[in-house]
C-alpha cells in the first residue's frame, strides 16, 4: 500500500506565542518547533498500515521552507521511507496549501493520503477535506479508529455526543484525531537511518492566500480574580458570588 | 444580495448550533444590509423544522429533503451547498464549527475556490467587507482576517452567538435535490446521537473539568455528582495530563490538543493551569478554580478561587448547589 502523509512544522504546544513586529505574524525567536502533534498519529497509522500490508511505501510530504527538512527527518526517523519537501510558503488559510499538496499528490502513487486533523498553529482544520475535494477523493476527518481491509475503509470519526462510521473505497483521505493510536518514538537506529533516506526537494511557488491577516493580537488579559477563601467553608460564599455577582447559576 | 447560513440537523431535528448559526448570519446580514437565507438539508420529516428558522431570523429558507440526506452525506451536502451559493450569489456562507461543519466547509470552499475562516468567534462589517476574528494557536492569539474572494466562507464557534427569537417571514422554498445514492462514494452512519446524558464539551453551558489533582479516575464520581447537581447543561472536561494518563477519554480534553471552549461557567478542579490548557478555556465567561496550591497559575486566570483540598471542597459545593436548586 502506498501512503502519503502530509505533515507540518509548528511551534511546540508549550510555547508562549508573541506577535511579531509587523503585527501580522508571530515572533519565531526562541520558539521550539516540532512535528505537529496530530501528524504523529497520521505517521504512526501509515507505518502500521504498511506493516500490516507487508508491502508499499510511506512518503511524508510538507509545504514549507528549508527548516521543514528537520520535521521531515523526524517522520523518517519514525520509519517513513521517503520525504518530499515542497519548497514554498504555506498560506495562512487552508486552500492555497491544499492546492499545492493536491498537485504534488496527484503526480505520485497514493492509495491513501493521511493528515493530522489540524495543525496546532493556524487551527484551520481545512486542508485534509480540501485536498480530498480537489482530488475528487472520499474523506473522513477527526478519525479515532481506522480499519483498512483490501480496498474497503471503515473509519470512526468523533462527533458531538457520539461518533460516525464512515465507509469508502480506496483511494481516499483520512485525517487523524488524537485517540487513533499511540505514536512510536524515533529510535536511535531510526534517527541514524533517517539521514540516508531520500528527501526530494521540489520548488513550488508560494501558496495563494484567499484570506488576508489584517492584524494579530494578544487576547485581552483576564482581570485578576479573587481567592474567595480556603477549604470547604468558603463554598457558601463562592455559590453566593456565582449567583449574585457573576449571575451564572 | 444575501448571506447564507447552513442549518445543521440531526435525526430530522435542528441542532442548537443551527439556531446559533442563523443568529450569526442575521447579525452579518443586518451589517451588510442584505437578506438572510438559511439552507436546510436532511430527511423528508425535516419539513416541520423549516418554520423555526424563520422564527429565529431567516428571511428565507432553502430546503432540500431526501432519504439519502438524513445522515451527513459529504458529497451530496457539498453539491447542494455549492448549488445554493450559485443560485443566491451570497456575500457570505456561514456554517457551524461543529464536527459536521468543519468537515463540510473545507469541501465547499475547495469547490468554490473561496477563502474559509475557521472557528470564528466574532464577525463584523467594515466598509462593506466581511471581517472575522478567530483564535489561533488555540487562543493564545486572535487573528483579524479579511477575505480576498467572494463569497466569504466561515465556520462559527459554538456559543459565540446566542440563538434568539427574531421573527422573519422565513418563506420556505424547496430545492429539488437530485441525489443518486449509488453516486455517493462516502457512506456515513451516525452511531450515537445526543441521547447521551451530557452535552459535548465544545457546546456545554457548564464544564466541570478535572486535572491531575483528582489523583485517579475512580475519583471522577465527585465531578459527576457536581455536574449532575448543576443540571443537564453541565458536562465533564479534562486536562491533557489526565487524558494522557488514560483516566478520561480524549473527547473531554480541553486545551491546545483538545477542544477550545467558551462556556458561561467553567470549573477547573485540581488543574494547575498549564499554558496549553488555559489557552483552551480562557474565553469562558466565568472561571472557578479549586486547587490546593495557592500559587497555581490557574488561580491567576480564575474569577473565583478556593484554595483547599478538593476532596473536601467539591462534595460541599455539590451539596450547596443541590440546596439552592431544590429551593428553586
**Distance (Å) from the alpha carbon of A117 to chain B's nearest alpha carbon:** 10
Contacts of B145 in chain A (CB under 8 A): 92-93, 211-214
Which pTM does this prediction carry? 0.93
The answer to the question of residue B102 being in a domain is yes
**Which of B91, B155, B147, B84 lies closest to B115, judged by CA?**
B147
Partner residue opposite A129 with nearest CB, options B106, B119, B306: B106
What does each C-alpha distance from A194 to A80, A81, A200, B68, B93 come to in angstroms?
A: 8, 8, 13, 47, 45
Task: Check whether residue B220 and residue B179 sit in a common domain.
Answer: no
**Distance (Å) from the alpha carbon of B258 to chain A's nearest alpha carbon:** 8
pLDDT for B97: 97
Q: For each of the domains in chain A, give its residue range(s) and CATH number, in order of start.
A: 2-203 (3.40.50.620)
Domain end position, chosen among B183, B198, B215:
B183
Task: Check whether residue B9 and residue B138 sit in a common domain.
Answer: yes
The answer to the question of residue B198 being in a domain is no
In this predicted structure, the answer to whether residue A50 has a pLDDT above a threshold of 60 is yes
pLDDT for A179: 87
Mean pLDDT of chain A: 96
Q: Is B319 exposed, middle or buried (0-12, 13-18, 19+ CB in 10 A)?
A: middle
The proportion of chain A whose per-residue pLDDT surpasses 90, expressed as a percent, equals 92
Task: Check whether residue B48 and residue B164 sit in a common domain.
Answer: yes
Strand partners, B116: B153
pLDDT tens digits along B71-106: 999 999 999 999 999 999 999 999 999 999 999 999
DSSP state letter for B119: E
Partner residue opposite B116 with nearest CB, options A94, A165, A225: A94
Question: Is the ipTM here above 0.85?
Answer: yes
Task: Name the more confident of B315 and A249.
Answer: B315
Contacts of B320 in chain A (CB under 8 A): 235-236, 239
Contacts of A248 in chain B (CB under 8 A): 264-265, 285-286
The answer to the question of residue B199 being in a domain is no
**Distance (Å) from the alpha carbon of B224 to chain A's nearest alpha carbon:** 16
The residue among B71, B186, B255 with the most chain A CBs within 10 A of its CB, best to mutate, is: B186
**Distance (Å) from the alpha carbon of A196 to chain B's nearest alpha carbon:** 32
Task: Check whether residue B159 and residue B253 sit in a common domain.
Answer: no
Contacts of A120 in chain B (CB under 8 A): 137-138, 256-257
Contact B143 A232 (CB under 8 A): no
Contact A159 B100 (CB under 8 A): yes
The answer to the question of residue B9 being in a domain is yes
Task: Check whether residue B25 and residue B172 sit in a common domain.
Answer: yes
Count of structural domains, chain B: 2
- The helix/strand/coil state of B290 is strand
pLDDT for A212: 96
pLDDT for A92: 85
Partner residue opposite A231 with nearest CB, options B144, B191, B313: B313
Contact B316 A26 (CB under 8 A): no
pLDDT for B86: 96
pLDDT tens digits along A113-129: 999 999 999 999 999 99
Partner residue opposite A95 with nearest CB, options B99, B109, B136: B109
Contact B143 A216 (CB under 8 A): yes
Which CATH number characterizes residue B307's domain?
Answer: 3.40.50.1220
pLDDT for B328: 59
Contact A162 B194 (CB under 8 A): yes
How many contacts (CB atoms, under 8 Å) link A and B?
Answer: 281
The answer to the question of residue B114 being in a domain is yes
Contact B256 A13 (CB under 8 A): yes
Q: How far apart are CA A157 and CA B250, in angstroms?
A: 13
Q: Is A14 exposed, middle or buried (0-12, 13-18, 19+ CB in 10 A)?
A: exposed
Task: Check whether residue B58 and residue B178 sit in a common domain.
Answer: yes
* pLDDT (tens place) for every residue of chain B, 328 residues total: 999 999 999 999 999 999 999 999 999 999 999 999 999 999 999 988 999 999 999 999 999 999 999 999 999 999 999 999 999 999 999 999 999 999 999 999 999 999 999 999 999 999 999 999 999 999 999 999 999 999 999 999 998 999 999 999 999 999 988 888 887 899 999 987 555 578 899 989 999 999 999 999 999 999 999 999 999 899 999 999 999 999 999 999 999 889 999 999 999 999 999 999 999 999 899 999 999 999 999 999 999 999 999 999 999 999 999 998 887 5
Residues 6+ apart with CB under 8 A from B180: none
**Which of B129, B126, B125, B133 lies closest to B154, judged by CA?**
B133
Task: Check whether residue B284 and residue B318 sit in a common domain.
Answer: yes
Task: Check whether residue B36 and residue B139 sit in a common domain.
Answer: yes
The answer to the question of residue B193 being in a domain is no
Considering all CA atoms of chain A, what is the largest pairwise distance in Å, rounded to the nearest integer? Answer: 68
Q: How far apart are CA A216 and CA A151, in angstroms?
A: 45
In this predicted structure, the answer to whether residue A221 has a pLDDT above a threshold of 90 is no
Instruction: Please give the helix or strand (H or E) that residue A14 lies within, else none.
Output: none
Contacts of A163 in chain B (CB under 8 A): 191-192
pLDDT for B196: 55
The answer to the question of residue B52 being in a domain is yes
Task: Quote the domain boundaries for residue B211.
Answer: 206-327
Contact A227 B146 (CB under 8 A): no
**Which of B246, B156, B160, B253 lies closest to A38, judged by CA?**
B253
**Which of B116, B62, B113 lies closest to B92, judged by CA?**
B116
Task: Check whether residue B87 and residue B163 sit in a common domain.
Answer: yes
What residue in A sits closest to B315 (Cα-Cα)? A232
Q: How many residues does chain B have?
A: 328
Domain end position, chosen among B133, B149, B183:
B183
Task: Check whether residue B215 and residue B320 sit in a common domain.
Answer: yes
Q: How far apart are CA A219 and CA A209, in angstroms?
A: 24
Task: Check whether residue B123 and residue B271 sit in a common domain.
Answer: no
The answer to the question of residue B189 being in a domain is no
Partner residue opposite A164 with nearest CB, options B72, B139, B274: B72
Task: Check whether residue B24 and residue B153 sit in a common domain.
Answer: yes
Which CATH number characterizes residue B104's domain?
Answer: 3.40.50.620
What residue in B sits closest to A174 (Cα-Cα)? B103
Amino acid at each position: 500500500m502506498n501512503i502519503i502523509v502530509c505533515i507540518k512544522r509548528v511551534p511546540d504546544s508549550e510555547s508562549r506565542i508573541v506577535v511579531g513586529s509587523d503585527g501580522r505574524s508571530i515572533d519565531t525567536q526562541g520558539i521550539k518547533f516540532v512535528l505537529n502533534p496530530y501528524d504523529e498519529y497520521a505517521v504512526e497509522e501509515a507505518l502500521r498500515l504498511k506493516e500490516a500490508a507487508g508491502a508499499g511505501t510511506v512518503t511524508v510530504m510538507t509545504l514549507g521552507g528549508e527548516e521543514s527538512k528537520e520535521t521531515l527527518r523526524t517522520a523518517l526517523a519514525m520509519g517513513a521511507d521517503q520525504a518530499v519537501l515542497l519548497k514554498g510558503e504555506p498560506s495562512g488559510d487552508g486552500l492555497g496549501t491544499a492546492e499545492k499538496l493536491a498537485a504534488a499528490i496527484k503526480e505520485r502513487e497514493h492509495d491513501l493520503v493521511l493528515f493530522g486533523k489540524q495543525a496546532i498553529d493556524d487551527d484551520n482544520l481545512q486542508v485534509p477535506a480540501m485536498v480530498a475535494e480537489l482530488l475528487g477523493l472520499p474523506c473522513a476527518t477527526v478519525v479515532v479508529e481506522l480499519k483498512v481491509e483490501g480496498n474497503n475503509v471503515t473509519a470512526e470519526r468523533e462527533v458531538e455526543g457520539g461518533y460516525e462510521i464512515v465507509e469508502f473505497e480506496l483511494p481516499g483521505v483520512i485525517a487523524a484525531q488524537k485517540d487513533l493510536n499511540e505514536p512510536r518514538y524515533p529510535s536511535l537506529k531510526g534517527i541514524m537511518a533517517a539521514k540516508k533516506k531520500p528527501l526530494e526537494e521540489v520548488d513550488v511557488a508560494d501558496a495563494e492566500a484567499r484570506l488576508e491577516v489584517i492584524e494579530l493580537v494578544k487576547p485581552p488579559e483576564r482581570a485578576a480574580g479573587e481567592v474567595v477563601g480556603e477549604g470547604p467553608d468558603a463554598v457558601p460564599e463562592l455559590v453566593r458570588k456565582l449567583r449574585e455577582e457573576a449571575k451564572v447559576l | 444580495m444575501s448571506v447564507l447560513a447552513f442549518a445543521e440537523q440531526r435525526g430530522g431535528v435542528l441542532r442548537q448550533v443551527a439556531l446559533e448559526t442563523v443568529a450569526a448570519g442575521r447579525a452579518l446580514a443586518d451589517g451588510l444590509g442584505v437578506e438572510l437565507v438559511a439552507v436546510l438539508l436532511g430527511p423528508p420529516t425535516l419539513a416541520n423544522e423549516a418554520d423555526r428558522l424563520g422564527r429565529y431570523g431567516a428571511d428565507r429558507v432553502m430546503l432540500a429533503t431526501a432519504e439519502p440526506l438524513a445522515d451527513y452525506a459529504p458529497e451530496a451536502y457539498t453539491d447542494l451547498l455549492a448549488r445554493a451559493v450559485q443560485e443566491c450569489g451570497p456575500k457570505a456562507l456561514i456554517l457551524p464549527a461543529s464536527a459536521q461543519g468543519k468537515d463540510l466547509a473545507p469541501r465547499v470552499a475547495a469547490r468554490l475556490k473561496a477563502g474559509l475562516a475557521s472557528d470564528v468567534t466574532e464577525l463584523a462589517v467594515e466598509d462593506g467587507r466581511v471581517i472575522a476574528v478567530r483564535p489561533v494557536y488555540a487562543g493564545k492569539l486572535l487573528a483579524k482576517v479579511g477575505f480576498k474572494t467572494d463569497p466569504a466562507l466561515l465556520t462559527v464557534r459554538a456559543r459565540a452567538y446566542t440563538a434568539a427569537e427574531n421573527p422573519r417571514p422565513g418563506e420556505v422554498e424547496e430545492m429539488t435535490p437530485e441525489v443518486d445514492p449509488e453516486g455517493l462514494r462516502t457512506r456515513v452512519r451516525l452511531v450515537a446521537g445526543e441521547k447521551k446524558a451530557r452535552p459535548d464539551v465544545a457546546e456545554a453551558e457548564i464544564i466541570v473539568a478535572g486535572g491531575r489533582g483528582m489523583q485517579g479516575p475512580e475519583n471522577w464520581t465527585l465531578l459527576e455528582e457536581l455536574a449532575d447537581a448543576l443540571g443537564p447543561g453541565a458536562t465533564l472536561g479534562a486536562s491533557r495530563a489526565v487524558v494522557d494518563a488514560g483516566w478520561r477519554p480524549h473527547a473531554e480534553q480541553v486545551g491546545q490538543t483538545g477542544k477550545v471552549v467558551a462556556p458561561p461557567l467553567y470549573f477547573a478542579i485540581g488543574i494547575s493551569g498549564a499554558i496549553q490548557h488555559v489557552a483552551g478555556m480562557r474565553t469562558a465567561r466565568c472561571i472557578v478554580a479549586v486547587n490546593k496550591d495557592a500559587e497555581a497559575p490557574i488561580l491567576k486566570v480564575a474569577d473565583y478561587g478556593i484554595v483547599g483540598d478538593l476532596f473536601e471542597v467539591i462534595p460541599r459545593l455539590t451539596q450547596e448547589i443541590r440546596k439552592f436548586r431544590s429551593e428553586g
